[in-house]
């Protein structure tokens, strides 16, 4: 079956523009499909809903392969750059018990009840942004609408002073882009956080930074690299993915006029827009690659021990065995609740409640206050757009 696929097909530019036909073929093949990533590593792509779910909860699939591979060696921190050390300590790259310990330090701030208290503040921020967009008339939906809400909300929760937030936005963009500026951005971020942690020790505040500093100092539950990694991930994940969610939702609504009209007529459909956007074009295509800790059977095929496993959320969320008309964007569908855009199990997205709240408020308020919103370019020009970086020009 694998012979029908190019060895690096997943990274072909045509597939990058629209990977769903590739994932359709992966599901139809009846098993995981091996691909060679740009670094020369073998990645077994899994795209069926049931198979991705099974992979997300499989006891022999995880991140820290050096702990299980008899030939693996965990590099000494002295052998790693600061950027590599921080990346290695991020929650999405850890297994229990470290993952359990670190997630427990921050999970209380992201429960549904804790997040619900932010609704009035987020709504006020959304209204200010929409009022400004109305005055401008011609806007970039990413810069002017999608970006500022998650950036400011997560910074407020973490405890980043407002004057410093533009710097964090720039650092986040550099780190996520994996550009040459990424390591320097990580170092600058770490140095800033060292200063902020010292300030919070001297003058505690009601924010996440203070809580983490106190936990680290009192119980020795958090070292310096873990603190930087945890805050960096919260800021990046809390910004980048929600910006994509809001931007993708606006793009989908305005390229599906009947769906946009339905939301305008009934803004209470905003929550449904969030869920269908997550299913149809969620922010995460493939979960951060994991490893098989032993020879395993998954998706009707065998994955050798210590190979990488690529669990495709995009593939799972377009599986016709689960979703009727999976390639249609439909905010009225009744099966949307089965999507797994936020993952599953111990790595279920920590900020899912917050992302849903921010996006729902934005779609609701935009539908109510900007009913004439429309694309300022031909929809055909959106093919291959990387929304977060290319922007989304619109007229109010």
What pLDDT sits at residue 328?
Answer: 97
Do the beta carbons of residue 213 and residue 206 sit within 8 Å? no
Q: Which residues pair with 34 in a beta bridge?
A: 44
Q: DSSP assignment of 5-49, as one string? A: S-TTGGGSHHHHH--HHHHHHHHHHTS-EEEE-TTS-EEEEE--H
pLDDT band at 2 (very low <50, low <70, confident <90, very high): very low
| Average pLDDT value for residue range 316-330 | 97
SS3 sequence of 98-130: HHHHHHHHHHHHHCHHHHHCCHHHHHHHHHHHH
Tell me how far apart the alpha carbons of residues 310 and 8 are, in angstroms, rounded to a whole number.
13
Q: How many CA atoms lie less than 13 Å away from 21 in the CB half-sphere?
A: 8
What pLDDT sits at residue 72?
Answer: 63
Do the beta carbons of residue 341 and residue 332 sit within 8 Å? no
- Which of 140-144, 170-174, 269-273, 310-314 is the least confident region? 170-174
Q: At what angle do helices 119-136 and 148-158 cross, to 10 degrees?
A: 150
Do the beta carbons of residue 22 and residue 29 sit within 8 Å? no
Share of the chain above pLDDT 70, in %: 93
* Pair of tokens at residue 316: 């799972």
pLDDT (tens digit per residue) in 142-161? 999 999 999 899 988 889 99
Do the beta carbons of residue 393 and residue 138 sit within 8 Å? yes
What pLDDT sits at residue 389?
Answer: 54
pLDDT band at 313 (very low <50, low <70, confident <90, very high): very high
pLDDT (tens digit per residue) in 330-377? 999 999 999 999 999 888 999 999 999 999 999 999 999 999 999 988
What pLDDT sits at residue 3?
Answer: 45
| Average pLDDT value for residue range 4-24 | 91
Q: Quote the distance between the C-alpha of residue 269 and its chain's center.
A: 23
Write phi, then psi, for 281 (nearest 5 degrees): -155, 60
- Which of 135-144, 160-169, 352-361 is the least confident region? 160-169
Strands of the chain, DSSP E: 33-36, 42-46, 61-62, 138-140, 290-292, 296-298, 301-303, 308-311, 374-375, 393-395
CA dihedral 96, 182, 284, 67 (to 10 degrees): -20
Do the beta carbons of residue 343 and residue 56 sit within 8 Å? yes
Higher pLDDT, 137 or 69: 137
CA dihedral 24, 25, 30, 34 (to 10 degrees): -120
357-372 burial code (b ≥16 CB/10 A, e <16): bbbbbbbbbbbebbee
What pLDDT sits at residue 11?
Answer: 94
- Which of 170-174, 306-310, 311-315 is the least confident region? 170-174
The Cα-based distances of 310 to 77, 279, 295, 303 in angstroms read: 27, 18, 15, 11
pLDDT (tens digit per residue) in 27-82? 999 889 999 999 899 999 999 999 999 999 999 999 887 777 666 656 566 667 88
Tell me the average pLDDT of the chain. Answer: 89
pLDDT (tens digit per residue) in 185-231? 999 999 999 999 999 999 999 889 998 888 877 766 788 888 899 98
- Which of 31-45, 94-108, 285-299, 301-315 is the least confident region? 94-108
| Average pLDDT value for residue range 303-331 | 96
What does DSSP say about strands 393-395 and 301-303: parallel, antiparallel, or unpaired?
unpaired
Write phi, then psi, for 26 (nearest 5 degrees): -60, -45
CB-neighbour burial class of residue 59 (10 A; exposed 0-12, middle 13-18, buried 19+):
exposed
* Pair of tokens at residue 135: 């005055």
Do the beta carbons of residue 57 and residue 90 sit within 8 Å? no
Residue 60 has a CB neighbour count (10 Å cut-off) of 15
pTM tops 0.75, yes or no: yes
Minimal CA–CA distance to 90: which of 212, 191, 232? 232
Higher pLDDT, 383 or 43: 43
- CA-based radius of gyration for the chain: 21
Contacts (Cβ under 8 Å, ≥6 apart) of 360: 270, 271, 273, 274
What pLDDT sits at residue 1?
Answer: 42
């Amino acid at each position: 079956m694998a012979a029908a696929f190019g060895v690096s097909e997943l990274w072909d530019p045509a597939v990058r523009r629209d990977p769903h036909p590739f994932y359709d073929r992966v599901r139809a093949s009846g098993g995981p499909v091996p691909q060679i990533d740009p670094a020369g590593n073998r990645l077994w792509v899994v795209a069926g809903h049931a198979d991705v779910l099974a992979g997300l909860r499989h006891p022999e699939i995880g991140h820290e392969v050096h702990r299980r591979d008899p030939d693996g060696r965990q590099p000494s921190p002295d052998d790693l750059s600061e950027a590599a050390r921080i990346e290695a300590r991020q929650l999405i790259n850890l297994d229990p018990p470290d993952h359990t310990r670190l997630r427990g330090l921050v999970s209380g701030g992201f429960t549904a009840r804790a997040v619900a208290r932010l609704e009035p503040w987020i709504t006020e921020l959304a209204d200010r942004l929409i009022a400004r967009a109305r005055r401008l008339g011609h806007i970039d939906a990413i810069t002017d609408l999608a970006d500022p809400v998650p950036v400011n909300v997560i910074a407020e929760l973490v405890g980043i002073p407002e004057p410093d937030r533009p710097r964090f936005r720039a650092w986040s963009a550099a780190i996520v882009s994996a550009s040459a500026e990424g390591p320097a951005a990580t170092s600058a971020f770490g140095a800033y956080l060292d200063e902020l942690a010292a300030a919070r020790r001297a003058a505690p505040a009601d924010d996440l930074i203070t809580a983490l500093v106190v936990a680290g100092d009192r119980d020795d539950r958090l070292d310096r690299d873990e603190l930087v990694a945890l805050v960096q991930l919260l800021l990046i994940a809390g910004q980048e993915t929600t910006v994509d969610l809001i931007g993708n939702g606006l793009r989908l609504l305005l390229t599906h006029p009947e769906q946009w009209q339905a939301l305008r007529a009934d803004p209470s459909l905003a929550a449904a827009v969030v869920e269908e956007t997550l299913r149809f074009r969620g922010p995460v295509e493939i979960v951060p690659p994991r490893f098989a800790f032993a020879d395993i059977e998954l998706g009707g095929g065998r994955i050798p021990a210590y190979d990488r496993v690529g669990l495709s959320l995009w593939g799972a969320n377009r599986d016709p065995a689960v979703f009727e008309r999976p390639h249609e964007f439909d905010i009225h569908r009744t099966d949307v609740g089965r999507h797994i855009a936020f993952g599953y199990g111990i790595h279920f997205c920590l900020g899912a409640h917050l992302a849903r709240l921010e996006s729902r408020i934005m779609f609701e308020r935009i539908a109510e206050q900007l009913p004439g919103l429309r694309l300022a370019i031909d929809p055909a020009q959106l093919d291959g757009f990387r929304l977060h970086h290319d922007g989304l020009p619109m007229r109010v």
